[in-house]
Chains A and B, each alone.
Chain A
């Protein structure tokens, strides 16, 4: 029983930051900009948050949980600012969007590693490539968390999980219930029509890519505060790519993507717990960690036929095109 509880708790802690990164990916792709840059966005966002957190931790008496909230805010801003490069390349400079994404990832790894080393040398005098952040405190909802199985959802929650869910609900509302969201989705299908209807295709896409960067940044700092307990190049584990896979699996819609992410998280934690429950050595956990990826491939075989990617994704927007 305790294995199942642990599976749900740690599965959610992994799934929810992954989900917000996937939502970031959806924002960009729904507006017609192919986004392989999620990995770079989340790393750069996490870097900005981590720098602010280290700085605040040194100079102010803020409590550690207050610092986490500020860090989340700054990772949103940092991710959004970094995403400007992707937006400029894809929208203004007519670069190939997939290639731009790859370039953004490479530049992100390089820049953050270089800056981390430089800042560490300047502040602490040692050329370390990581900022130690610690793990965010957790809480359990009293009462409900005692219920078997379902209670695990409310046990040992990271506060950021709640914040992310609130942001995700707002992101859903923005995309499906507002004028901006409708234009954004239209940009991904037929940007010329948006222009004809009096909107500004380029501007909408620009904003969409920036939000994508911001949301990915939040995902990045949450991984830094939970799984890794530090900011270092190890943040580039490929979760950005996993988020993209979740997005495609979820057919570019926010709600199905949420369930896909939960599935990834539970399968990942489940594999680990299964290995523990069977009493196998920790080496074997690698075999169980493969399970979610194999399952994904198998499931994709059944579901991919119906996939509908945004029609204009990957195309350079040309005003004069008919």
Chain B
């Protein structure tokens, strides 16, 4: 008999494999596992820099209104921080949904940043600078402009893919540049604010974030975008889970040839899914440029367009998962300033931690694979033991 170390069904790793490889729960346990790994690795990183990781994580939470800060400015409190957190989370969640929508259909929408910029720009000049409109008209109009502009851009990318076989990654990159230069030109030549060098701010009637609302004695910036984003989560979930159209899209995403064979119109699916992805990106754009920032810096694409890809991935490419993922990523990114001020570490450390988190979540498929392997081995071993015992009994 070979004298090798046999894997046992007890022990830490076997337990871990059971948890991570669980058919029903692995979509929850694996992300939690990656988060724990990230916290461990970034703690080590912070310890090397000579900082207390617990203080750092507490500061991240405090910076987003999940925990109390040491001191607050006049009229500010935990609630103000929490609303500020929601204000930036809304476009992040919408942008992640935009990526998910295209990804489920087998398409990579790298152009979210460009679609956001274009729809934000159009909404700003069409509605944001129109002082005559009352808020009740302006706000829905902003959302409609975002949907239409984003949708048209997305549909154009889908059309190029379907009609001319232009890879969507290339066309969206080109379109990103074109949009960036085009809007940059118009902002610089017509709409620039001579002091800030970015576009003039839009009217508060059109802005999707209500500023300085008094809630519980604190001044808060209440974002309407978060409501839009949460509605969209359920719309996207409904489309994918409950409609024939959503089923077609998913079928095209998992196997294009099989979908064609089954009689699904692949070209239409590609264009539709890019269009709806663009619509969501457009919504992200208006909540970002007419909610969070209220101005557009010319010739700058929002980094959020790319971060959203990672957020979608962390959320397992599911709409509900995206909520949790965007909460987590926003906590790190939005809390960076406060963490930097309490800890005295450059605020870029937050992006590094986000990067590590994404690195591990990119490996989540591997964790599942490993734990399946481990479970299979344990099962094999059990069977072998059983057989050996039966043989011994029969003798």
- CB distance A286 to B348 under 8 Å? no
| B164 CB–A CB distance under 8 Å | yes
Taking a contact as CB atoms closer than 8 A, the residue among B169, B185, B369 that contacts A36 in the complex is B169
Kindly list chain A residues whose C-beta atoms are within 8 Å of the C-beta of B355: 103, 106-107, 110-111
- Chain A residues 105 to 152 lying within 8 A of chain B, measured CB to CB, are 105-107, 109-111, 113-114, 117-118, 121, 127, 129
Q: Closest CB-CB distance, B60 to chain A, in whole Å?
A: 15
Known: A102-B310, A245-B173, A286-B185. A89 touches B108 (CB 8 A): no
Task: Report if A105-B174 is in contact (Cβ < 8 Å); known contacts: A110-B351, A248-B167, A305-B165.
Answer: no
**Bound CA span A145–B167, Å:** 40
Check: B354 CB closer than 8 A to any chain A CB.
yes
> Given A113-B351, A245-B170, A293-B174, are A107 and B358 also a contact pair (CB < 8 Å)?
yes
Closest to B185 in A: A286
Q: A94-B366, A98-B108 are in contact. Are A110 and B170 (CB under 8 A)?
A: no
> Which segment, of A55-63, A70-78, A296-304, faces chain B?
A296-304
Q: Which of B334-350 contact A (CB under 8 A)?
A: 346, 348-349
Cross-chain contact of B351 among A89, A109, A249 (Cβ < 8 A): A109
Nearest chain B CB to A235's CB is how many angstroms away? 14
CA distance A36 to B185 in the complex (A): 28
Using a CB–CB cutoff of 8 Å, the interface residues on chain B facing chain A are 108, 110, 160, 164-167, 169-171, 173-178, 181-182, 184-185, 188-189, 299, 301, 303, 306-307, 309-310, 313, 346, 348-349, 351-352, 354-356, 358-359, 362-363, 365-366, 369
Contact across chains for B362 and A96 when beta carbons are under 8 A apart: yes
Whether B182 pairs with A290 at a CB distance below 8 angstroms is: yes
Inside 8 A of A114's CB, which chain B residues have their CB? 346, 348-349, 351-352
Contacts A238-B177, A287-B181, A289-B181: A103 and B358 contacting too (C-beta < 8 A)?
yes
B166 to A95, Cβ gap below 8 A?
Answer: no
* A93 contacts partner chain B, Cβ-Cβ < 8 Å: yes
Q: Given A107-B355, A248-B167, is A283 in contact with B189 using a C-beta cutoff of 8 Å?
A: yes
- Complex Cα–Cα for A283 and B182 (A): 11
Q: Tell whether, in the assembled complex, residue A301 and residue B164 are in contact, meaning their CB atoms are under 8 Å apart.
A: yes
Contact status A248-B170, CB under 8 Å: yes
Instruction: Please name 5 pairs of A and B residues whose Cβ atoms are closer than 8 Å in the assembled complex, sorted by A.
Output: A106-B307, A113-B351, A242-B173, A289-B181, A294-B178
Complex Cα distance, B188 from A95, in Å, reads 42
Min CB gap A107→B, angstroms: 3
Of the candidates B166, B175, B369, the one whose C-beta lies within 8 Å of that of A301 is: B166
When distances are taken between beta carbons in the complex, the residues of chain A under 8 Å from B358 are 103, 106-107
Main secondary structure of the interface of B (DSSP, over half): helix
B14 → A minimal CB distance (Å): 21
A286 in complex: contacting residue of B169, B181, B303, B306, CB < 8 Å: B181
- Distance (Å) between the CB of A80 and the closest chain B CB? 18
Whether A164 sits at the interface, judged by CB under 8 Å, is no
Q: With contacts A107-B359, A244-B169, A300-B171 known, is A113 near B348, CB below 8 A?
A: yes
* A85 adjacent to chain B (CB < 8 Å): yes
Q: How far is the CA of A95 from the CA of B314 in the complex (A)?
A: 13
Given contacts A93-B365, A94-B365, 8 further A-B contacts (CB under 8 A): A102-B310, A241-B110, A245-B173, A286-B299, A287-B181, A297-B174, A300-B160, A300-B164
A287 and B185 form a contact (CB under 8 A)? yes
Report if A284 contacts B (CB, 8 A).
yes
Neighbour of A304 across the interface among B165, B178, B301, CB < 8 A: B165
Q: Is there a chain B Cβ closer than 8 Å to A307's Cβ?
A: yes
Select one of B188, B356, B362 contacting A99, CB under 8 A: B362
Is B365 a contact partner of A96 (Cβ separation < 8 A)? Answer: yes
How far is it, in angstroms, between the C-alpha of A272 and the C-alpha of B199 when the chains are bound?
Answer: 24
B301 contact set on A, CB distance < 8 A: 238
A107 touches B170 (CB 8 A): no
A128 to chain B, nearest CB (A): 11
Instruction: Give A243 Cβ to nearest chain B Cβ, in Å.
Output: 10
A123 → chain B, closest Cβ, in Å? 14
**Chain B positions within 8 Å of A105 at CB level:** 306
Query: Does A216 count as interface, using CB distance less than 8 angstroms?
Result: no
Q: In the complex, what residues of B have CB within 8 A of residue A111's CB?
A: 352, 355
User: B192 → chain A, closest Cβ, in Å?
Assistant: 9
- Residues on A with C-beta less than 8 A from B303 are 109
Question: Does A211 sit at the interface, judged by CB under 8 A?
Answer: no
Q: Contacts A111-B352, A245-B170, A287-B181; is A307 near B165 (CB within 8 Å)?
A: yes
User: In the complex, what distance in Å separates the CA atom of A102 from the CA atom of B306?
Assistant: 7
Task: Report the nearest B residue to A111, measured CB to CB.
Answer: B352
Chain A residue numbers with a CB within 8 Å of B346 are: 114, 117-118, 121, 127
Q: CB-CB < 8 A to B356: which residues of A?
A: 107
Q: Which residues of A contact B177 (CB under 8 A)?
A: 238, 242, 290, 293
Q: Which residues of A contact B175 (CB under 8 A)?
A: 293, 297
Bound Cα distance A297, B189 (Å) = 26
Task: Name B167's closest neighbour in chain A (CB-CB).
Answer: A248
In the complex, A241→B111 CA distance in Å?
12
Cα separation A85 to B360 with both chains bound (whole Å): 11
Query: Looking across the interface, which residue of chain A has its beta carbon closest to that of B165?
Result: A304
Task: List A contacts of B164 (CB < 8 A).
Answer: 300-301, 304-305
Please, which residue of chain B has its CB at the minimum distance from the CB of A94?
B366
Chain B residues, CB < 8 A from A94 = 365-366, 369
- CB closest residue in chain B, given A306: B165
A93–B165 contact, CB under 8 A? no
List residues of chain B with CB within 8 A of the CB of A109. 303, 351
A90 to B, closest residue via Cβ: B362
User: Is there contact, CB below 8 Å, between A99 and B313?
Assistant: yes
List the A side residues contacting B170 at CB < 8 Å: 244-245, 248-249, 300
The verdict on A290 contacting B178 (CB below 8 Å), with A103-B355, A103-B362, A107-B358 known, is yes
Q: Which residues of A contact B160 (CB under 8 A)?
A: 297, 300-301
Contact of A95 among B171, B354, B362 (CB under 8 A): B362
Task: Return A209 CB to nearest CB of chain B, in Å.
Answer: 15
Contact (Cβ within 8 A) A238 B181? no
Would you give the shortest CB distance from B335 to chain A, in whole angstroms?
A: 15
Whether a CB of chain B sits under 8 angstroms from the CB of A212 is no
Known: A99-B313, A290-B177, A300-B166. A89 touches B185 (CB 8 A): no
